[in-house]
Chain A
Amino acid sequence: MKQHAAAAGWLSALCMGLGQWYNRQYAKGWLFILIHAAGLYLTIFKLAPLIKDLTTLGTQGRHFEKVGKINRMVEGDNSLYMMIYGVLAVLVLLLYIFLYIQNIRDAVAIGRRREQDQDLQKLNSSFFPWLLLTLPIIGVLAFTILPIVFTSLISFTNYASPNHIPPKGLIDWVGFSTYHKLFNLNVWQDTFFGVLGWTVFWAVTATFTCYFGGILVALLINQQGIRFKGFWRFLFIIPYAIPQFVSLLIMRNMLNEKFGPINQYFQAFGLQGLPWLNDPFWAKVSVIVVNMWIGIPVSMVLVMGILTTIPKDLYEAAEVDGASVWMKFRNITMPYILFATAPILITQFVGNVNSFNVVFLLTGGGPATMRYNNAGETDLLVTWLYKLTLDFNQYNIAAAVAVLLFLFVATMSILVYTRTRSFREEDMIQ
């Protein structure tokens, strides 16, 4: 028996494609050699300088230079572009390394098949899903991963007004000093922890009210003996059907302290109107209640969809065994709903942590407070960082908040998600 696997592997490690040639797969060999040539050329002549720029982020900003007797303005290094191109260069380099490894693995695998005199026509059953996933992966890489990488990088720089805004000024790497500021500097610390506390409270409350509200409403309609089910469903779907942005702006007007219809009715009953959006406490109540108005229909539609997928024979069997309404609900309906909605519950929780619209459009983060730096009483972390970015140009602080938020959310959800049954026992229903 010959040592085809080892030989092909070493050849491919030496130079991409050689192993494939050794295995007499010439087309594949040519392809890999071409990739190798392009990769080497790019790495040495294009990628290396870009990656070097990424480490320095430029040495000189826009400045004046003396040309003869006149002072002329000269464009310096633009740290921002250096960062973008640097990140792209690293991505390309990683792709090249990945392909190199794949090339070795492929050579070894084919070599092994030759050793065992197996058919080289491999049944490529795992190929189809990747074909399906190609386009989605490209889209996600370009518009999700790249921006995330970029954002995390910015959190380690001093990219903030007034002094470090390209092309006028340079950006520098500053390590963890942005995070240090956020946690330990009084200016930022109080705001950060205050906003964080409200964000957590809000996310938990909003998720549970909407989720169980939705289940209750769905079950309310689906009860035996309730007539005009279609009509009720139609009525309750209305808030879901109206664009969120529109209904939130309408709600803002409805809750208007002076002219809003809600306070008008309060007064008609001889009650004093409430400062729905202008008082710290009531603003929080308003945000949660309005969110229920928007969120419950979503859960209701989902739960009603699940209710129709529960096989009728389960209920029939239960009835034959003499199960009560409650037992059927506990042992058939509820497990089914939970099984099907567990992932949705988590996504909703995370969505609520990042619930930008409800807060931003309803209260704008207000009412304003002296306790916080550039944030209001109902500001969530996301709306705060939006303000930091757009209104105050504190990009590095905003990026650091984004990164922390991301870490917090990711850890939470992985913890919960891997513990739900629908993930572990994914193929249970089949």
Chain B
Amino acid sequence: MKPRLIVSYVLLVLIGVACFYPALYTILSSFREGNSLFSDHLIPEKWTLQHYKDLFLNNRADRYIPYTKWYLNTLYVATISMVLGTLLQLLTAYAFSRFRFKGRKQMLTIVLILGMFPGFLSIMAIFVILKQLNLLDTHAALILVYSAGAALGMFIAKGFFDTIPKSLEEAARIDGASHMTVFTRVILPLSRPILTYISLTTFAGAWVDFIFARSILRTPEKWTLAVGLWNLVDSYNSTEFTLFAAGCVLIAIPITALFMYTSRFLVDGLTAGANKG
């Protein structure tokens, strides 16, 4: 074996361990008895499902943790935000990538600038506006906040559309396809990788956000997982690490599974073979 390859493999193993270790530690801790962060052995000496039971059955009499409810809330908010956000972002990216209309350059610059204005800088303003609309403490408000600005994150999608050869579109045009047909029959089928990417990021964004969720949602029954878990950690700190670990595992499972399942789309050949001469 060449020395270059040996060095590469050593590096790969090291990075791999670094990537995997925190997750492994948390997963194993969630099955460990007791509640402490500290332990002499990585692998639990006694395995238990107690922490998961505690979360779902809410049978810790000493603390109020409606975990199942949070879970459903989060799923609901994240799914709807994903659909709306993806739609908005896709439309924007497509319009900017494929059309040369008046004011396009200026609007691109505006999108660029606005996209960099961190949403939560204006959280105070958003809060007051939502209060006026009587939308505070509702999931609808949260969904609006998550999806309304989605268009601003369109640069990656636009970059993707830019790489789809124009010749494909022109071919369809010559065959008499309308704007809408070109979009749905030519562009969309080719956009699966970027569609996956956008949906995943918007879903994950809604799933993990806690800044907006914490300021908009007030009653514990309406909380999302992030707010709930945050409160769990904030109130009990590291003294309930195993319970926290179980909560983490359950939060990470759907996102991670979804991600692993779809990640192959992200790195598949994007337009491989589409533009044959």
Contacts and interface: CB of A to CB of B under 8 A. Distances in A.
B255 A144 contact: no
A220 interface: yes
A140 B148 contact: yes
B16 A143 contact: no
Interface string B19-35: 11011011000000000
Interface residues of A, number: 91
Interface in B29-48: 36-38
B19 A245 contact: no
B74 to A, nearest CB: 10
Given A225-B5, A308-B267, A344-B156, A143 B144 contact: yes
Given A140-B151, A147-B125, A242 B16 contact: no
Contacts of A382: 118, 120-121
Main secondary structure of the interface of A (DSSP, over half): helix
B63 interface: no
Contact of A241 (B25, B259, B270): B259
Nearest to B166: A430
A250 B145 CA distance: 27
Interface string B198-223: 00000010011111000000000000
A417 B116 CA distance: 13
Contacts of B115: 347
A116 interface: no
A243 B238 contact: no
B188 interface: no
A67 interface: no
Contacts, number: 249
Which of A236, A242, A301 has the most chain B CB atoms closer than 10 A to its own CB? A242
A135 B18 contact: no
Given A243-B204, A259-B38, A309-B271, A234 B260 contact: yes
A237 interface: yes
Given A139-B88, A144-B114, A148-B117, A245 B226 contact: yes
Nearest to B247: A246
Contacts of A154: 124-125
B26 A126 contact: no
Contacts of A135: 87-88, 91
A145 interface: yes
Given A84-B128, A237-B259, A243-B204, A356 B118 contact: yes
Contacts of B128: 80, 84, 150
Contacts of B271: 309
Contact of B122 (A130, A151, A240, A351): A151
A250 B26 contact: yes
B159 A340 contact: yes
B159 A389 contact: no
Interface string A391-430: 0000100110010011001100110010000100010011
B19 A238 contact: yes
A256 interface: yes
B255 A242 contact: yes
B155 A347 contact: yes
Contacts of B211: 356, 386
A247 interface: yes
A167 interface: no
Given A246-B252, A386-B120, A223 B8 contact: yes
Interface string B68-100: 000000000000000000011101101110110
Interface in B89-135: 89, 91-92, 94-96, 98-99, 101-102, 104, 109, 112-126, 128-129, 132
A254 B151 CA distance: 37
A410 B12 contact: no
Interface string A55-95: 00000000000000000000000001100100000000000
A387 to B, nearest CB: 12
A399 B115 CA distance: 18
B150 A233 contact: no
A235 B18 CA distance: 10
Interface in A193-216: none
A223 B2 CA distance: 13
A198 B204 CA distance: 29
B269 interface: yes
Contacts of A150: 122, 125, 128-129
A350 B118 CA distance: 9
Contacts of B121: 151, 354, 382, 385, 402, 405-406
B19 A264 contact: no
A238 B20 contact: yes
B101 A130 contact: yes
Contacts of B4: 223
Interface string B140-154: 000011011111100
A280 B206 CA distance: 32
Contact of B88 (A136, A225, A241): A136
A247 B165 CA distance: 39
Contacts of A25: none
B124 A245 contact: no
A139 B148 contact: yes
Contact of A140 (B94, B96, B149): B149
A177 to B, nearest CB: 20
Given A139-B147, A410-B116, A414-B113, A402 B267 contact: no
B85 to A, nearest CB: 9
8 contacts: A139-B151, A151-B122, A223-B8, A241-B252, A253-B241, A309-B269, A409-B116, A414-B109
Sorted from nearest, which 10 A-B pairs have the closest CB atoms?
A147-B122, A136-B151, A147-B125, A139-B148, A143-B148, A150-B125, A259-B38, A129-B99, A354-B118, A241-B259
Given A139-B149, A293-B18, 13 more contacts: A128-B99, A130-B95, A133-B91, A143-B144, A147-B122, A238-B23, A238-B256, A246-B208, A250-B26, A340-B159, A351-B116, A386-B120, A409-B117
